[in-house]
Amino acid sequence: MVNITIVSRFSDGLPPGEGETRKIPGGPLYPAAEVLELLADVGDQAVRAWTDKCSKDMQKWSLDADDLCELLRIALNSGRFLGAEWCVQRPDGPWAACDAYSLVRQEWVCHARREMDMEYYIKFAIAKTGKILLVVSCHPPESKR
């Protein structure tokens, strides 16, 4: 018997089996107002890079917890919801049901000597406690990596 651990607040259904789709119909799973309130109340203490890949991407793109908060705010206020899906932290679990967004943020680009639009992809879940946002992915689109 396989023991499945779900760490996200959303836990309807089960994570997919081998070869099944990870997509979760409907969504967003987490109301924007609730996520924004959590960010306003707790700030950067509310966000955690939940996967090794997310931590590595944060290093690669020089992002910190404050950046994650800002990117989440932009995503929820003006970004595009891409869908919801099950995400796994490592091959043997645990699982989180996540919302994915694309967004654009203005950033200073040294080589261009001006601010430019930078596109990002961010995927997150609210933890079971309701007090932490588990950030699974945060990076530019795959085509720009």
Predicted pLDDT at 145: 47
For the chain, the structural domain boundaries read 33-144
Nearest to 102 by CA among 138, 145, 66: 138
Three-state secondary structure string covering 49-68: ECCHHHHHHHHHCCCCHHHH
Predicted TM-score of the model (pTM): 0.90
pLDDT tens figures, 17-63: 777 788 999 889 999 999 999 999 988 999 999 999 999 999 999 99
- Percent of the chain having pLDDT more than 70? 97
